[in-house]
Structure 1
């Protein structure tokens, strides 16, 4: 992928990192590594802005001076985790999962719960590339075994979606 660090954020790839809001341990570590590698590649990290995988991905991105965008379920922007640059309070509850998918050029799913599954369904339905890392293996998903591979695959498969 070409160097995109010099581009305005709106011209960079947007990659959503999705997973359980209560994740810790291995899933949190994977998400933090994914966030850091996405930032190093110049991508904007999109999440639901709360805890678990979302917070870890944002923390990883900020550790590499990356940019983060959160689409929150409630009405309060201040509910975002402390690693979010831009917080959008949607007031839509879990329906904001569709917005996360539509805002992203690709998704990386880490772990999973019902909310993550809804995001995967929306992404596959809309033709967004979905990379699974320690997540489900659903038809149409791309699998990866470690963070660098997940990021490379997400960026490679999203290149046609980025202008």
Structure 2
């Protein structure tokens, strides 16, 4: 997911900011987001008149997302830090994962941003597959990376997060920050509560994730906040082939024309 965002650049021009079909640059780039404005406290009753219109905008995002992705076929979402750079081991791993997902007959879905997301999209696109990027409008991170061949840009985080889960059959999660954690724990909650079923979740990188797993086991399970069996919802691995086997074994791959 793109939400492991770096801070705004301290120098140089800000990239184009896309608000639907509108392109904004320079001082016209907003300092707030649609999601942020939606969540702001309302001191005046004007929201009564504005929020119903906002609902229509939210509805349109769902409609556009459903329309664009309905015929996607089997897909896996790949998450991780936007701060990873080409040449980093995580970037290379994500690129290989994207390519191997395509070879297995799956589309690759990411948050469409830089870092791990770009790498997975690059691997999928260069392997000749469907490389999906679900971007989000943010003042300091805009649009989708150049390797996306099916992209959508959302105003609202919750609409975007729905698309990640609705159109994927599993998650592969590489090291990341708060945005990655957000997607991880939301998916775990949905699986634990049986809101969705047959949804494998793979954490790639023992060195990064074992501390979290130890805390879940030694503190959260020990304190009775989750069950020991809940940890079975997560697979941790350092092996790309094991990661792929875990997520693709629950669904038939897509072999038709794109």
TM-score range, shorter chain: 0.7 to 0.9
Q: Based on CA coordinates, which of the two structures has the bigger radius of gyration?
A: 2
Deviates more, 1:96-105 or 1:16-25: 96-105
* 3-state SS of paired residue (1:72): strand
Residue 151 (structure 1) aligned with residue 237 (structure 2): no
Residues in 2 aligned to 1:10 and 1:106: alpha-carbon distance in whole angstroms: 17
Identify which of 42, 65, 68 aligns with 2:131: 68
Residue 133 (structure 1) aligned with residue 204 (structure 2): yes
Residues in 1 aligned to 2:73 and 2:159: alpha-carbon distance in whole angstroms: 25
User: Residues 94 and 136 of structure 1: is their aligned pair in 2 closer, same or farther, counting only changes over 3 Å?
Assistant: farther
Q: Which runs of 4+ in 1 moved over 2 A?
A: 9-12, 93-99, 135-140
The runs of 5 or more residues in structure 2 that have no matched partner are 1-69, 192-198, 214-230
* 3-state SS of paired residue (1:87): strand
Aligned to 2:75: 14
Identify which of 37, 42, 55 aligns with 2:100: 37
The Cα RMSD (Å) is 2.5
Aligned to 2:171: 107
Q: How far does the alpha carbon of each residue in 1:74-126 deviate from its partner, in whole angstroms, 9 at most, with x for none?
A: 18xx8210110111111124873443233211000011211100111111112
Contact 1:15 1:107 in 2 (8 A): yes
Residues in 2 aligned to 1:122 and 1:81: alpha-carbon distance in whole angstroms: 25
* 3-state SS of paired residue (1:12): coil
**Alignment size in residue pairs:** 151
User: Residues 107 and 150 of structure 1: is their aligned pair in 2 closer, same or farther, counting only changes over 3 Å?
Assistant: same
Residues in 1 aligned to 2:72 and 2:151: alpha-carbon distance in whole angstroms: 19
Aligned to 2:222: none
Aligned to 2:186: 122
